[in-house]
Structure 1
Amino acid sequence: MTEYIVRFFIGGVVVSVFAMLGDILRPKSFAGLFGAAPSVALATLGIAICQHDPGYAALQSRTMVAGCIALATYSIVVCHLLMRGRVRALPATLLSFVVWLAVAFGLFSLGGGAA
């Protein structure tokens, strides 16, 4: 229970900092980019360092990077299918999901499969 409270407060503080950073930077679309994922990742890594050792936190950070790469690949594929391929939203999303799974599990297997 304490872990969730700590994660809530750390995440809230970091979300606020990233929201202020997004408000300062231009274009304003950066505000959403800085809003959620970095704060949750930092809170999770902070808790991992406190409860485990730095090696465990390093493993978690590598897993987060692999997830980021898979999500970026998914986003690029879905945008190309929607904008250039003129594919409807549902088929584009489903096809891109398959690509996301392939990239995520491919990176997971390359990284030794321990997360």
Structure 2
Amino acid sequence: MGEYAIRFVLGGFVVSAFAMLGDLLRPKSFAGLFGAAPSVALATLAIAIVQHGPLYAAVQTRSMGIGAVALAVYSVLVCHNLVRAHLHALAATLVALVGWLVVAGGL
């Protein structure tokens, strides 16, 4: 139960810090970008360092980076499929999911 309390407090603190950073930047759409994902990742890495050491946290960090690259490729593919290929949303996301799997598995 203690780990969850630490994760909750640390995550809340970092979410607040990133929300303030997002509020300072222009355009305001960055506020949502800086809201949740980086703060949860930092809280998870902090707990991983304390519980398992820096080598374990380094593996998690690399995995988070690979996931971020795969998500970026997925997002670009969905946008391309919707705007240029004029696919329906379900078809666009399913096609892009294949690209995500290739990138995530390949990296």
TM range (shorter): over 0.9
For these two proteins, the number of residue pairs brought into alignment is: 107
Structure 2 residues without counterparts, runs of 5 or longer: none
Structure 1 residues without counterparts, runs of 5 or longer: 108-115
Superposed CA RMSD: 0.7
Runs of 4+ in 1 over 2 A off after TM superposition: none
Normalized against structure 1, the TM-score is what?
0.90
Aligned ranges 1:1-115 → 2 under 5 Å: 1-107=1-107
Aligned residue type for 1:87 = L
- Distance in 2, matches of 1:83 and 1:4, equals 42
Normalized against structure 2, the TM-score is what?
0.97
Q: Deviations over 1:9-48 (max 9, x none)?
A: 1111100110111111000000010001100000000000
- SS of corresponding position for 1:35: coil
- Distance in 2, matches of 1:95 and 1:4, equals 37
Q: Deviations over 1:55-102 (max 9, x none)?
A: 111111000000000000000000111111111100001111111111
